[in-house]
Structures are given as structure tokens and as C-alpha cells.
A and B are shown apart, each in its own frame.
Chain A
Amino acid sequence: MDVIEILATVGFWAATLRIASPLIFATLGELICERAGVLNLGIEGIMTMGAMAGWMWVYQGGDLWGGVLFAAAVGGAFGLLHAIFTVYFGLSQHVVGIGITLLASSLSFFLFRMILPAATTPPKITAFQVYEVPYLSDIPFIGQAFFTQTPLTYLALAVVPVVWYGLYRTPVGLAVRMAGENPAAVEAQGIDVLAVRGGAVVVGSAFMAVGGAFLTMSAFDAFYFGMVNGRGWICIALVIFASWRPMKALFGALLFAGLDALQVRAQQISGVFIPYQFFLMMPFVLSIVAMIFMSRSATYPKALLVPFRRGERI
């Protein structure tokens, strides 16, 4: 089977959508934070925490959508912590972000171990089941590939235009974009910059956590250490690749997921000759390549990484 043949299989496209789903949530989340001017390096930890929180809710007997909401809330809480340090106190976004990732990751592992002290194999939960969209899933090929996914995938796709609308067509979205370009301009119009930036970070972090929850509640049915495996960092590269635009973020996530799905299948075919590690490397190498292509012409939000200190002698 060569590349063209792989592309012609339903399984490839279905896998692409599945792999893209957590990336879509997390990339949109980081995009919202960065548009407001805040680099959120806590993404990897928040995704891990979201994965654990969603799993924990269901494991303790809750329902699936409650788990998603719980994960979002937990993510938002860590976002609030990040915002207090970086937006309110104006501390280094790099340092605080790494600190939040370390904190959220270790806290999630700690809590997981508390709940399951002696498990050798992680217990499975009943995750989201595939939902076949009536009528649409009967369409040959397309139906099987695109309309036979779990509900969280449909949510991911639906959320993209919502974020687009929010950023470009609402007053609060304009305020968020302004906060990332010139916070003094926001302040001069009578809007609280700290509230706008903080709010963006909280909302973005909630998105990230839902992306993480996808991993336990739709993809793998269980939580295990190291399950996020660098997806958070890849999403930071994807935000740059998407030029901070929601639609391009969707495209980037799908493209990336497609290449990942391709790599998995290619591995199965030629694994004898090329060690599997090189295939596993592909997502990370691709992310770096994506950044190389986009960085030279990237128009960063002008006030990204610049803290806004109110009351300083202007």
C-alpha cells in the first residue's frame, strides 16, 4: 500500500479526525490566550489535568458530559492561577507557565495515585461511544469517515466557528484582540485590561483541559502517566502555524493529524526497515518544520509577553 492507497481508506480519515480533536481544543485555547497577549506554557500540564479530571469524574460514578464540564472547570481554575501570576502581578510568562505545567502534571499524578494506590493496569471507564449521525453517516465513504465519530469530536468541529465568531464579531472578542495588540488602548476606552486578559486565559485554559479530557474520555478510555506526550507543546507550534486564526488552526490541526495518521499506517507497512522511533518522532519534527516556515513572516500579537502594569508613570 502506498500513500495514495492509504489516503483512500476510510480508516485514515476517521483516524485523522480523532487525532485532531484534542489538538483542535488545545490549539484554540492557546490561541485565545495569546490573542489576549499571554503565552500560556501551562498547556501541557493543564491538558494532563483535564485528562485526569475527566477520567476521575466518570470513574467516581459521574456522567460523561459532567466529566467534560468538570475538566473545563478544573482547567479554568489553573488558568485563573496562571492569570493571577502573569496578568495581575506581571510575572514572567515563561517561568509561570512552566511552573503551572509542573504543578498541574504532578498534581494530577498525585491525585491519580491517591485514588488508585496499587493499580498496575489503569482501569477502564465507559467512555464516549461513537455516535452515528442519522442520514449523514449513511453516505458512502464520507459518512463512515466523518459522521461516525464520538460526540467530543463533533463538539471540537462545532466550536471552531463559535470561537471565530466570538473573536471577530463580538465586542468582547475585539477587546481580547486589542488587549493583545495595545493594552493601553483598551484601558483608554474604559475597559479593565486585567479582567479581559485574565478572562481570556481562564477560557483558553478551559478549552485546553477539554482537549486533554478527550484523551481519556474518547480516545483511550483510561488515564495513564505520560499520556499527553507533548501534544501541548505541539499546539503552541500550531498556533503560530495558524497565524492566530481559528479557521487556520482547524486546518493546521487536521493537516498535522493527517500526517500523524499517515505515519502510523506507514509504520505498520515498513516497520521492518525503519525503526519505529523515527515514525514517532515525526509529529515533533513536523511541528518544528511548521514553525520554521511560519516564523519569519509571523505577525505576533504586538503585546504578547508584555505585561500591563497599571498606574505606572505613563
Chain B
Amino acid sequence: MAVLEIVGVTKRFGSLLANDGITLSLAEGEILALLGENGAGKTTLMNILFGHYTADEGHIKVRGEILPPGSPDAAIAAGIGMVHQHFTLADNLSVLENVILGRESLWSWRQDKARGRDHILSMARDFGLEVNPDALISDLSIGERQRVEILKALYGDAQVLILDEPTAVLTPQETESLFETLRRLVDQGRSVVIISHKLHEILSVSDRVVVLRRGAIVGTVKTADADRDSLAELMVGRAVVRPKAEPMAPGEEVLRLHKVSLGGAKLDAVELTVRAHEIIGIAGVAGNGQADLANVISGLARPTSGHITLFGEGPAQLTPESVVAAGVGRIPEDRNAVGVIGAMTVWENLSSEDIRRPPASRGGIFLDKPAARARAAELIEAYDVRCKGPDAETGLLSGGNIQKLILARALSREPKLILANQPVRGLDEGAIAYVHERLLAARRRGAGILLITEDLDELMALADRVAVMYRGRLSASYAVSEVTVPELGLMMAGQNREAGENSKDGARHAV
């Protein structure tokens, strides 16, 4: 008997059809992969399974019993555990507290912490998920936090474990370790659903693959029978070709960081050079200083020591205003929280970096709305931003179109330096190809690009040189042909390419 049966599930958000008549089943002891590009409806389906959303049509059965919809409580009681993509952990509380939340009746007067602690430690032993129950979440690394998420999901003896994009924040080695854990779990008779858009990982760990496209199932294959190209084609609906960088000779220096440090251990004597016609890729697990590096170059944070040379002039005291004025295009990591102001219109967001200059304003005091809107209309056309016009509310645009808006704002002034931080996170294949093509075009034109990304495939395809951030230190940079993905993975985990200490000498650096 199938452990899980999803029958005819349909879900709409406004006019968007997120899930269209989905029917699939999960067998005992099986690892099922749910594959699809961003926006295909995978997370929505799993959220319905876990009770965060309620389906408009269809039902779900767990071991033959209908699952009451819309209630995470019911899902947990039915033996379903979910490891969310964005961790549902409270930083200021301990591991123990995060895991035992909700496991005892809210009406009870006593809390059995000892039992909780024992249970966590025994689970940790059984599944190889080492963790200290009394540590505060804020003190844990990303990999450790994921372990807590998994323990949380398994605590109630979950028989079905759902993992939503679990490897997005892991090094290749940590990913292997996670897959080991999953194999151990299914050996004990549990079942796993893993949501991902990463083909090689799905091929390595799953038994069966269900492919979703635009909310509907377009194919179900046994993993043994599948390969990268066929899966990619199913996923996107056409042959997938991501743009690759053609070789180019680098030009003049556009950016140089000289032993830049930022308070505490955020950045530690970072040395970096970016030249025209060149893409420097920065790899690393989230939280190792990439955000701080981006902030320092964007002018949002001031280095505590060291200095920055921009276009050969320096040392420069950077502010967001001066950086933009100097001709730097920036694509921020979080487009919704930092990149645009959702409540404002498209033209207001397109003008946000230039609001004190023409055409957006006259004399830096009065807004020139007609001129700003006209320019916005041009940019909307040129960068294919799908919206109702310059006066549309930005928050209503899709993620891909918001990213195109940000691209338009960052690239339209033909900047000589571009800072792109996770530029294609959460985008579908079409939007990804568009963004990459635009970046490569800028590189051809003569821009130097600093690309910060957690996606090693993107890195290898676009970058000329690669460096790795670990605990605030930036490694030496290597030509992309000189380094392999597993080696990058080791560096992301803190092991240097040469066995031994972290080298900081100048001789190895990019020139």
C-alpha cells in the first residue's frame, strides 16, 4: 500500500494556477524527488501536504486515511514531517526548545525537558545528526541548523519526511552527508520526498522523479532510467541551454580591495581584484561574509581597516550614493527586502538610485514625473519587464520581473563595475537565461563583474576566476579551468586547496 496518495490536488492564488490536478503516490521506503524549476508549484504542493495551505480541489490520503486539510497539526499527527526551505527556527532560543515546541499539550502545567533532551540525543545518534541541545540557534552554522530542522521533523516519529530544497545552503560534502542520513532513514522503512531543482543531486539520491512544470505533472521516471538532459528538458519544456561565458582577455582594473576588514570577524583582510571584461565568482556557504563583502562594496558598510580602490581612484570612502554616481551597478541578494520598495510604483523604483538627478528630478528638489515615467517606459520595453506600465505597483510583479526591473536600474547606465549577489535565486529557467545573457553582454561591453553565488553550476558557467569565502576570509582566486567543483566544496568547508593552513600571502592572488 502506498504510504502517501495525492489525488487531483488543485490550488489557485488569485489568477495564478499553482497546482493543476496533481496525482502522485509515494511508496514505503522510497525516496521520491519532486523536480521543477522555480515557480513550478513544488513548494506549494508540499505546503498543502503539510497543511500550511488548503487545496481548492482534490484530497490526500496517508496510509489509506484521508488527511484533514489545512492543519499542520493533523499532518504531524499523521506522521508527516517537513524540513522547510527557510528554516523555522527561533535564533534566540535553544535547540531543545525549538525541537520540543508543541510536542506537549499546551494545557499542561509541566514541561518534561529531560525526556526531550534524551530523545534528541538518541535520535542524533541513530541518524548521525550531531547536535548540542542546549546551544542557541544563533550560535550554530547553517549546516547545524539544518540538522536541527531535520530533528524537529523527525521528533514525532515522522514516517514521511519532506525536504524543501535542502541542499541550497550546503557544501557538496555536507550534501553527501545529508544523503547518507536520508538513506539510513529509508532503510528503516520511512519515506522521503525531496524537492529540488538540482539535477545531479536528484540523480544521485532519489529512486523516482516526478517532474512538475507550470503546476502540472509532465512526467514520472525511475531515476535509473533518467539522465540530466532528459530531465532538464522535461523540467523546462524545451532544450535547456544556459549561456556560457566565451573567453576574453581582461582589461583595466575596476575594483580592488586592499586587506579590507570589517569589525569582529565579519571580513578578515580580504584581497580582491576585478578587471574589465572579467567575471570574478565568489563561492561560499551563506553566512561566511558574502553579505558583508557586498555591503562594503555597495557603500552600506564602512571597513574597519584596509581600503578600496574604485576605477583606479582611491582609497575611496564609499556610500551608496557615491558608488552609484561612480558608475557601479548593484544587484542585491534579496530583491524584495532590499532591492525594491513593493508599495511604490515601477517608475519610482526604477528612479530610486537617480532620484536627485535628471530625468527624475529638476534641480534635485522637484520630481519630474513625466520625464521619469517616460524613461521608465523605455526601460520596461528594453528589459522586458512584464507589468501594467510605469504606474504599476511593484509588489504585484512576479519575482522574475522584479529582478528584470533591478537589472534595468543597475545596467541601463552601462556601469563599468557590476556587483551581482545571487542574481538568479528563485527564478525560473527563462528568467535565469535572461539575466545571465545580460550579464555576459555587459562583460562584452567592458564591465567587470563580481558575481556572488551559492550555485556552483552558475559559477562554473559564467566566471573567469573563482574565489571562496570562508569565515570572512577570501581565498586566493583561481582560473575556472584550474579548479573542480569538489575542490571548491572543500574550500567552502574551510579546507584550503593546499593541505594545511589558510594562506594569505600576496603571491597567489589574482593578477
A181 near B73: Cβ-Cβ < 8 Å: no
Q: A175 an interface residue at 8 Å Cβ cutoff? A: yes
A188 near B84: Cβ-Cβ < 8 Å: yes
A311 near B53: Cβ-Cβ < 8 Å: yes
Q: B207 an interface residue at 8 Å Cβ cutoff? A: no
Kindly supply a per-residue 1/0 record for chain A positions 186-202, scoring 1 wherever the CB is within 8 Å of any chain B CB and 0 otherwise: 11111100000000000
Main secondary structure of the interface of B (DSSP, over half): loop
Query: Could you say which of A174, A190, A299, A314 contacts B97, with CB atoms under 8 Å apart?
Result: A174
Complex-state Cα separation, A311 to B72, whole angstroms: 12
Q: Which residues 152-197 of A have a CB within 8 angstroms of B?
A: 169-172, 174-175, 177-178, 181-182, 184-191
Q: Which residue of A lies closest to B16 (CB)?
A: A313
Cβ contacts under 8 Å, B100 to chain A: 174
Known contacts A174-B100, A174-B111: A191-B92 contact under CB 8 Å = no
Q: B98 an interface residue at 8 Å Cβ cutoff? A: yes
Query: Could you say which of B82, B89, B105 contacts A171, with CB atoms under 8 Å apart?
Result: B105
Of listed A170, A174, A187, residue having the most chain B CB within 10 A: A174
A188 near B92: Cβ-Cβ < 8 Å: no
Q: A302 an interface residue at 8 Å Cβ cutoff? A: yes
Query: Could you say which of A175, A302, A311 contacts B101, with CB atoms under 8 Å apart?
Result: A175
State how many residues of chain A have any CB contact under 8 Å with chain B.
Answer: 24
Main secondary structure of the interface of A (DSSP, over half): helix
Complex-state Cα separation, A311 to B69, whole angstroms: 13
Cβ contacts under 8 Å, A169 to chain B: 110-111
Q: B71 an interface residue at 8 Å Cβ cutoff? A: yes
Known contacts A178-B101, A181-B92, A189-B76: A314-B43 contact under CB 8 Å = yes
Q: Which residue of B lies closest to A301 (CB)?
A: B92
A172 near B106: Cβ-Cβ < 8 Å: yes
Q: B91 an interface residue at 8 Å Cβ cutoff? A: yes
Q: B159 an interface residue at 8 Å Cβ cutoff? A: no
Q: B317 an interface residue at 8 Å Cβ cutoff? A: no
A171 near B102: Cβ-Cβ < 8 Å: yes
CB distance from A199 to the nearest CB of B (A): 9
Complex-state Cα separation, A313 to B342, whole angstroms: 15
Q: Which residues 84-109 of B have a CB within 8 angstroms of A?
A: 84, 86, 88-93, 97-98, 100-109
Q: B61 an interface residue at 8 Å Cβ cutoff? A: no
Kindly supply a per-residue 1/0 record for chain B positions 60-82, scoring 1 wherever the CB is within 8 Å of any chain A CB and 0 otherwise: 00000000000111111100001
Complex-state Cα separation, A175 to B98, whole angstroms: 10
Kindly supply a per-residue 1/0 record for chain B positions 32-52, scoring 1 wherever the CB is within 8 Å of any chain A CB and 0 otherwise: 000000000001000100111
Cβ contacts under 8 Å, A170 to chain B: 108-111
Q: B366 an interface residue at 8 Å Cβ cutoff? A: no
Known contacts A171-B111, A188-B84, A190-B73: A181-B90 contact under CB 8 Å = yes
B108 near A171: Cβ-Cβ < 8 Å: yes
A178 near B93: Cβ-Cβ < 8 Å: yes
Cβ contacts under 8 Å, A171 to chain B: 101-106, 108, 111
Complex-state Cα separation, A138 to B105, whole angstroms: 45
Kindly supply a per-residue 1/0 record for chain A positions 21-41, scoring 1 wherever the CB is within 8 Å of any chain B CB and 0 otherwise: 000000000000000000000
Cβ contacts under 8 Å, B86 to chain A: 184, 314
Cβ contacts under 8 Å, B103 to chain A: 171, 189
Known contacts A178-B93, A311-B53: A184-B88 contact under CB 8 Å = yes
CB distance from B122 to the nearest CB of A (A): 20
CB distance from A308 to the nearest CB of B (A): 12
Of listed A175, A185, A187, A188, residue having the most chain B CB within 10 A: A188
Cβ contacts under 8 Å, A301 to chain B: 92
Cβ contacts under 8 Å, B47 to chain A: 314
Cβ contacts under 8 Å, A187 to chain B: 52, 72, 88
Kindly supply a per-residue 1/0 record for chain A positions 279-314, scoring 1 wherever the CB is within 8 Å of any chain B CB and 0 otherwise: 000000000000000000001011000000001011
Q: Which residues 8-63 of B have a CB within 8 angstroms of A?
A: 13, 43, 47, 50-53
Complex-state Cα separation, A182 to B87, whole angstroms: 10
Cβ contacts under 8 Å, A314 to chain B: 43, 47, 52, 86
Closest 10 CB pairs between A and B?
Answer: A189-B102, A190-B73, A181-B90, A185-B88, A188-B88, A190-B72, A182-B90, A171-B104, A172-B106, A190-B76
The interface of chain A, by Cβ under 8 A from chain B, is 169-172, 174-175, 177-178, 181-182, 184-191, 299, 301-302, 311, 313-314
The interface of chain B, by Cβ under 8 A from chain A, is 13, 43, 47, 50-53, 71-77, 82, 84, 86, 88-93, 97-98, 100-111, 152
29 A/B residue pairs, CB under 8 Å, sorted by A: A169-B110, A170-B108, A170-B110, A170-B111, A171-B104, A171-B106, A171-B111, A172-B106, A177-B93, A177-B97, A181-B93, A182-B90, A184-B84, A184-B86, A185-B88, A185-B90, A186-B102, A187-B52, A188-B72, A188-B82, A188-B84, A188-B152, A189-B72, A189-B103, A190-B71, A190-B74, A190-B77, A301-B92, A314-B47
4 extra interface residue pairs, beta carbon distance < 8 Å, beyond A169-B111, A182-B91, A188-B88? A186-B102, A188-B84, A190-B51, A314-B86
